[in-house]
Amino acid sequence: MDKLREEKLWKFLMIVSLAIVVGSLFMVISVIVWNGMPALSLSMITQTPKGGYYLGKEGGILNAIVGSLYLAFGSVILALIISLPAALALQKDYIGKTRLAYYIRLSLDVLWGTPSIVYGAFGFIIMLYFGMRASLLGGIIVLTILQLPIMIRSMEEVIKLVPNELKEASYTLGATRFETTSGVVVRQALPGILSAVILAFGRGIGDAASVLFTAGYTDSLPRSLFDPVASLPLAVFFQLGTPFPEVQQRAYASALILLIIVLALSIASRYLSRKFAKNIIR
Amino acid sequence: MKSHISIRDVNAFYNGHQALKNITVEIPQKKITAIIGPSGCGKSTLLKCFNRLIDLTDGASVSGKIIVDGIDILNGSIDVTAVRRKMGLLPQKPNPLPMSIYDNIAYGPRLHGKPDKNELDRIVEKYLKIAGLWDEVKDRLKSPASKLSIGQQQRLCLARGLAVEPEIILCDEPTSALDPVSSQHIEQGLLKLKNDYTIVIVTHNIHQAMRLADYVIHLYLGELVEHGPANDVFENPKEERTRAYINGTILTDLKIDKEVDLKGNPCPYNFVLAKQALHELSKGKVLKLVVDDPLAVTEVPRGMEADGNEVLSVKQINKTDWEIVIQKTE
């Protein structure tokens, strides 16, 4: 009887936790949709801000949408190029068991926990040193640094789960370490690697503090890597800061657009992940 | 009898524990050689020395010489991938690669050359046929290898190993994870292959060794006890320890500290009584149980192992009764 009561208590606790998770997510989304839906229009996503936009006049936030996509995709691609080899090097077949790997992991964990404003300030100082002004390139680089620890550590975790027998199978066929890593390990870990990329993408596109100084903000579309560029989180921030209710509503609409982008990408990644998972060994 | 692999003074250590002691023996060419012995006797370690897979084990070191085709493969400066290519491995548990059936077979040939599509098709078909898998998979070569049954997966691993054109096939208890029918498939496959390959099979199944082997090597606790043509070893072993192992009485020299008769006790009472009996013994002592409950035959050893004790043997002694020998290590 006691066991049964214990079981019931645990079940109750689990239901409460799940309710808190689902409930808070539902509340966030409904507030954004409720406030943002009325302001969402075609001009919102097809036009850049016209004169007086922040006073409630015409225009849209195409500048921020385009800017955020550039920043997020640019930084994710750059971070992926650096992270994948780094995560693979942290396998036990390479440097995984050394003291060096221990310190690399430790520093990545610290970086993961570092507030993004610190990255922004760091990027700003470096840019000042080189005489650069706020630009798309600056934003991409700082976001890349922000995403590296997330990507490398999550990739490393999934790469660690690749069964040893699979690697042994490849080695016994006469494959080298590199052939085994690229032909077997990456294949087996591909769905997990994709999840790591999406995790980093979400963090990158949603971050305001790190791009505040480094990418800047502008009402026009960027024409080169060296132009300043707007971003959705900052668009939300600036519009919410105005005293006009109609502009504040547009802030919610901007947040809604951000949400839709992240949702679309998550769904796409799930689809891709299932495709990649077809061959993996469970 | 022509020798293919000659092993000279091989010693192997795992973190200071000696797993192989001065092994010197010749493995004949184009014959099936069975390495027999109880678990933990160094059989698999010896096999891992042949393809240098032991290099990948943490804290392992090997000394001595293993000469194949005139080359010492334990020499640190040789090309390990070339050595491994010469030796196909059939593992204990099938380990298909995370790709299609076709790509599993093509993986090896693609590593070692740039065969064109037609050439690859031919290779895939040839080796799947040799492994006796072609008829079952020819219509779904592009489907994932993981979808095959475990017995089919093992034959796929055999075909994959053969596709890199090795001279030697190493088998590490290749049928221990398989059902009897699949095991028979693998055994028949190996018998067919022995005209073209040198086969070394590690097994703790004496009957399998008797069915397959031309030559037998008996290891016990890392030492070479006896080796010779299968007929001589099985019918007229020179060593008492070999005779005892073949008769399934390897434990005769083991002192039984306590014997408990649990006949007539159903589960879980027999387990509880066994646990009590073991509790009264000190560490390292050996307990012999006699049970007649069929459930206990599997469940008692499993429970004892889960508690950290070592099950030394489980043996049927007559029509209804089983003997379980457990060493207290916890």
* Residue B212 sits in the same domain as residue B159: yes
Pairing of strands B258-261, B223-229: unpaired
* Claim to verify: residue B183 and residue B321 sit in the same structural domain: no
Q: How confident is the model at residue B34 (pLDDT cuts 50, 70, 90)?
A: very high
Shortest CB distance from A174 goes to which of B96, B98, B108? B108
| 8 Å CB contact of B108 and A173 | yes
User: Nearest CB to A280: which of B82, B93, B98?
Assistant: B98
**Interface contact A279-B144, CB threshold 8 A:** yes
Among A165, A174, A184, whose Cβ lies nearest the Cβ of B112?
A174
Q: Note whether B95 and B133 are same-domain residues.
A: yes
Question: Is the same domain home to B218 and B261?
Answer: no
In a shared domain, residues B194 and B300: no
- CATH number of the structural domain spanning residue A118: 1.10.3720.10
Nearest to B51 among A170, A172, A187 (CB): A172
Assess if residue A17 is contained within a domain: no
State how far the Cα of B317 lies from the Cα of B330, in Å rounded to an integer: 27
Q: What residues of chain B lie within 8 A of the CB of A184, using their CB?
A: 97-98
pLDDT in tens, B111-131: 988 788 999 999 999 999 988
Tell me: do B198 and B311 sit in the same domain: no
Closest in A97, A171, A282 to B146, CB measured? A282
Q: Which residues form the domain of B65?
A: 3-246
Report if residue A21 sits inside a domain: no
User: Quick one: pLDDT at residue A162?
Assistant: 93
Distance separating alpha carbons of residues B169 and B158, to the nearest angstrom = 9
Residues B204, B322 share a domain: no
Contacts of B123 in chain A (CB under 8 A): none
pLDDT surpassing 90 at residue B15: no
User: Would you say residue A108 lies in a domain?
Assistant: yes
The CATH number of the domain holding residue B196 is 3.40.50.300
Same domain, B259 and B146: no
Range of the domain at A136: 40-279
B153-179 pLDDT tens trace: 999 999 999 999 899 999 998 888 888
Domain membership flag for residue A10: no
Judgement on whether residues B34 and B155 belong to the same structural domain of the protein: yes
Q: Quick check: is A56 in a domain?
A: yes
Which range (A263-267, B207-211, B281-285) has the least confidence? B281-285
Model confidence at B216, pLDDT cuts 50, 70, 90, reads very high
Size of interface A-B (CB pairs under 8 A): 80
Which of B246, B281, B312 lies at the terminal end of a domain, its last residue?
B246
Whether residues B217 and B279 share a domain: the answer is no
- Report the CATH number at residue B288: 3.30.110.40
Distance CA B146, CA A17 (A): 36
B198 in the same domain as B229: yes
Please identify, among B218, B246, B274, the residue that sits at the C-terminal boundary of a domain.
Answer: B246
| Same domain flag for B242 and B259 | no
Number of structural domains chain A divides into: 1
B106, closest residue in chain A (CA to CA) = A173
Q: Chain A residues with CB-CB distance to B under 8 A?
A: 93, 97, 163, 165-176, 179, 183-184, 187-188, 278-282
Mean pLDDT of A196-214: 92
- Examine residue A9 and state whether it is found in any structural domain, yes or no: no
Domain final residue, candidates B195, B211, B246: B246
In a domain, A35, yes or no: no
pLDDT digit string (tens) for A144-184?
999 999 999 999 999 999 998 899 999 999 899 999 999 99
Query: What percent of chain A has pLDDT above 90?
Result: 67
Contact A173 B93 (CB under 8 A): no
User: Which residues of B are less than 8 Å from A173 in CB distance?
Assistant: 84-85, 107-108, 111, 160-161, 164
A268 lies in some domain: yes
Q: Compare A157 and B206 and report the one with higher pLDDT.
A: A157
Per the prediction, chain A carries an average pLDDT of: 91
Count: domains in chain B? 2
